Amino acid sequence: MNVMVLGATGLTGAAVVEKLLERPEVTSVIAPVRRRVGLEHHKLIQHQVDFDDLEASADLFAVDVIVCCLGTTIKKAGSREQFRKVDFGYSLEAARLGRAAGARAFILMSAIGASSDSTIFYNRVKGELEDAVRELGYPYLSVYHPSLLLGDRQEQRTAEALGIKLMPLVNRVLLGPLEKYRGVQAATVAQAMANEVCAMGTEAPAEPVQHLRDYPEIQKLAG
């Protein structure tokens, strides 16, 4: 199968690309990027695109599965408006183009607490994106709700760095209904996504399928 990975230069997206390239079920990995990924592989096809005009690259979206790990922070984006443009606008446009081109499955990296009814701006934008993607009618949709993503980032995020140091201790007390708030390694999320892609088979399901993956499901899928 041919798989597109959006956000291929990010912490989780880069790991998804690497894990998909290892799988014999995957024929090619298409990565629309602003800058090229520092990775060479005969199955990796990189395309430098203008995310403000994804329509100009619509032909790239004729794939079987799209894995969307696009995302930023308000601090990095510079404003709420710019954050929304990336996390909502770019992601939704990619999902729309993929559906129009015949993609049968969409795997979306969202976040714990995402809800269009949330009073927290970040969670509300993530929830609004989920709602909008569901309306596109993908035969197979899987939405991931990780809590804090653990791993080595290229950019420094002070609050996250502190959280990453504390999370191994915090995880021990997050039991039962609180388990979904445990921090999770980005590599574990990537492994779960790659496993899910390869378990789909080559045909669209007879009936629409929608999954919501939080910490326990992510761990289970990662194996």
| Digit-coded pLDDT (tens) for 123-152 | 999 999 999 999 999 999 999 999 989 887
Active site residue 126: yes
List Cβ neighbours of 109 (8 Å cut-off, separation of 6 or more): 7, 12, 67, 68, 69, 70, 71, 144, 146, 189
Q: Which residue in the list 43, 85, 122, 181 is annotated as catalytic?
A: 122
Is it the case that residue 157 has pLDDT exceeding 60?
A: no
Q: Which residue in the list 90, 126, 144, 215 is annotated as catalytic?
A: 126
**CATH C-level class of 2-222:** alpha beta
Domain residue ranges in the chain? 2-222
Q: Report the percentage of the chain scoring pLDDT > 90.
A: 76
Q: Report the percentage of the chain scoring pLDDT > 70.
A: 90
pLDDT for the residue 188: 97
